[in-house]
Amino acid sequence: MAEISQTMGTESSSSEENRKENSESSNFDIKIMRKTKPGSKRLILTLTVFFSFLLGLPWLLKSIEIYRSPLPFRDIDSLSNAIDSIPFVFPCKFHVVFVNFDHSTSVKPNAENLGFLVSSYMSQYADRNSICGTCDGNYTVSVSLDIGDDCVEYEDANRGISWKCGALSEFNFDQIAEDDEVFDNYLQSVVGWSRVYTAVVVNTGKGDRTRAVVGKYRHAWIVGRVTEINLLAETVAEMFMKIFVSGAKDEGNIQGEFMPVGADGKIVLSFNLLNADPRDWVYDWDFREVDEKLLAPALEALGPIANISVESQVLYHTPKSSYSYWDDEQESHIFSTKDLPFFVNSNEWHLDTSIAAGGRSKILQFVVYVPSANECPLRLQLPNGEISVTNGFISPTWGGVVVFNPPNCLENANSMHPLRHKISPQELNHIFEVFMGQLRQLFGLKSTGFYKGALGTSILLDSERGFTEWELDALARQHACYNLQQCGTTLGSLSRLVQSLPRMIIKDEIGKQVKFSLEAAKLAQNNASQGIYDASAVSSRHARSLAEDAFFHPSVMSISYYSFEHMFAVYSPFFLPLSLHVILAVVREIKRYKQESRKYAAWEAIRKQHSD
């Protein structure tokens, strides 16, 4: 409108100009020219609206933003990378002591080389597919020679390792063979509580073969006539690697995911006494005594590895669900190993009555099965046809079962009223010894008292706590490593999940848990590098349980995330038509402005020609 009035105004100007312009207007084409400058009011208006929308967009996005606690993604990535790339290796220290090697043997001149010899053999024995929690390549071997009055120490930069010279001189080595326990404790008093694995080689010069014993602390000894020094070094190396480092595990041992520790670092040991049919007899036990006497030391020993709690119950009317048959030869009912998968009757055995059953703790069930009168005595037949001594079996990650046959069970059947018995302390002791073996097996340890290596058999001494020091070390290393791996994977998945769902609410609590988990993981790594295995296991356990807590936090599991689709559905009815309007208006105005400017420029050119 403004332009039109302007043109009107100019047209009604003075007559001189009129004449002049008439000549100009003769070649003035309204379609391609205009005489006035194109107005910019509408352009400015539309552009203002357009830019105010663009400026308002971040403000809108900010206002509909959801709360996400900042997670340390970089730290998580570096942790999981560190765990994945560098195998978790603990430093281990070994010490070999040669006693009574006189000058006649070739030991003394080789004293410096002995340590090197042992370590070279050790690297041979090292597991190629490096299992988590070993000391691969990160060990030091020191050697001491004790020849009564003369001591030679080959130190490998280890200040802490020392050997009291002549400490064993007053000990009568003839006794060793008779009483290992005494010598074990004596050695412990000599060596003391250090984290060094010691092997004492005593040359008695008698007998024709050596005898290797592993004590319940962190030392072993080899006694006998030593002739070949290389063979001796190899034996020592095998002992170090296979027993002290790997924990003397069976082949096909229990690995990572079969670790019987719950994600929150807890184990609940549930001891169940099952009376298959209380109409025949009712057995009861004094569990409290067992708990105090037998279980408590073992559980205390396992303290760094898991937080263990114990509960017990007596259940009735719990028949097994597999069949057994009568064997005249054995005079008992036999169930064979192939029936074992069906032995546990999950319909009738209501074992999971505890509150812990709902959590993430691991529950290990230990079942004493008292058979009914018509299947008594019940015995387990091994695949080789023999009758099992323990009369029990384990199921990895589930627990163990022991069948307890009531004494004289053939006689007091068919009684009208059930007899009430109490399992005698001796029987109970026997049962719990089996359970302890089963628990060791569930942890992947050997339940037999000897280790059969490539170069002979070693005797393993039992600890009254159920677990020896070196076994606990191996377990702690393994668990620390596995826990850290799990922690790394869990945190890694959490960070991936969080990053893949940009509109998921993350509470502060999760951020805190992740932070603490990372701190605990770092502490565990520090402890591990210093060789403090149990502390490392404890903090790795915390790291893992915190990571799991963060991952399984209820707010993550819930559907309370506000999806992009939802936001689109809410805001598109307003912004879609509106942005169409605004953008079209801007495009049109700009187009028009350019067009009109061109027209004006054309007229200007003509006017200039005429004025010239």
Contacting residues toward another protein, per CB under 8 A: 1, 4, 42, 45-46, 49, 277-279, 282, 284, 287-288, 291, 311-317, 350, 353-355, 358, 416, 418, 569-571, 573-574, 576-578, 581-582, 585, 588-589
Nearest-CA neighbor of 374 among 332, 315, 420?
332
Helix residue ranges, H only, 108-246 = 111-125, 173-176, 180-191, 229-238
Nearer to another protein, 86 or 355 (CB): 355
Residue with tokens 């978790």: 88
45 within 8 A of 9, measured Cβ to Cβ:
no
Q: Which is nearer to another protein, 151 or 569 (CB)?
A: 569
Which CB sits closer to another protein, 37 or 206?
37
Q: How far is the CB of 466 from another protein (least distance, A)?
A: 20
Alpha carbon distance 451, 471 (integer Å) = 13
**At CB < 8 A and 24+ separation, what contacts does 3-7 make?**
3/34, 3/36, 3/38, 3/39, 6/36, 7/34, 7/35, 7/36
Place of tokens 């263990």: 308
Which residue lies nearer to another protein by CB, 54 or 231?
54
- Min separation Cβ 361 and another protein, Å: 13
Can you tell me the distance from the alpha carbon of 322 to that of 11, in angstroms, rounded to the nearest whole number?
114
Question: What is the helix (H) or strand (E) element at residue 94, kind and residue range?
Answer: strand 92-99
CA distance 529 to 542: 18
**Largest Cα–Cα distance in the chain?**
145
Task: State the Cα–Cα distance between residues 368 and 313, nearest whole angstrom.
Answer: 11
Cβ closest to another protein, residue 256 vs residue 278: 278
DSSP class of 68: B
SS3 346: coil
Least CB distance to another protein at residue 55 (A): 17
Closest to another protein by CB, 250 vs 292, is 292
What's at 515, amino acid-wise?
Answer: K
Nearer to another protein (CB atom), residue 2 or residue 151: 2
For residue 195, give the DSSP letter.
S
* CA separation for the pair 528, 110 (Å, rounded): 33
- How far apart are CB 392 and another protein at their closest, in Å? 22
Beta bridge partners of 458: 212, 451
Q: Nearest approach, Cβ of 83 to another protein (angstroms)?
A: 35
Taking the complex as a whole, how short is the minimal distance between the CB of residue 474 and another protein, in angstroms? 32
Residue 97 to residues 94, 226, 228, Cα–Cα distance (Å): 10, 14, 16
CB of 280 to another protein, least distance (A): 8
> Is the CB of 125 or the CB of 575 nearer to another protein?
575
Q: How far apart are the first and last CA of the chain?
A: 31
> DSSP 3-state assignment of 132?
coil
Instruction: Give CA–CA dist 546/542, Å, rounded.
Output: 6
CB of 552 to another protein, least distance (A): 15
Q: How far apart are CA 217 and CA 470, in angstroms?
A: 6
- Shortest approach of another protein to residue 317 CB, angstroms? 4
The structure tokens listed for 113 are: 């080389």
- For residue 45, the minimal CB distance to another protein (Å) is 6
Contact 310, 271 (CB under 8 A): yes
CB of 582 to another protein, least distance (A): 7
Which residue's CB is nearer to another protein, number 245 or number 368? Answer: 368
Based on CB atoms, which residue is closest to another protein, 183 or 287?
A: 287
Q: What's the CA gap between 255 and 345, in Å, rounded?
A: 27
Q: Is 418 exposed, middle or buried (0-12, 13-18, 19+ CB in 10 A)?
A: middle
| β-strand partners of 199 | 96, 220
- In terms of CB distance, is 47 or 459 closer to another protein? 47
Of 565, 553, 548, 465, nearest in space to 505 by CA? 553
Our CB check for another protein shows the closer of 252 and 358 to be 358
Retrieve residue 274's tokens.
Answer: 């099952």
Tokens of 395: 């199921």
Other Cβ atoms closer than 10 A to 341: 10
The span from the CA of 198 to the CA of 201, in Å, is 10
Q: Shortest distance, CB of residue 593 to another protein, whole angstroms?
A: 12
Nearer to another protein, 188 or 309 (CB): 309
- 24 or 311: CB nearest another protein: 311
CA distance 547 to 490: 6
| CA distance to 47, 54, 241, per residue, from 291 (Å) | 83, 72, 35
Report the residue number, 385 or 554, with the smaller CB distance to another protein: 554
Query: Least CB distance from residue 479 to another protein, whole Å?
Result: 27
**At closest approach, how far in Å is the CB of 129 from another protein?**
42
In angstroms, rounded to a whole number, what is the distance separating the alpha carbons of residues 292 and 296?
5
Closest CB 226 distance from another protein, rounded Å: 53
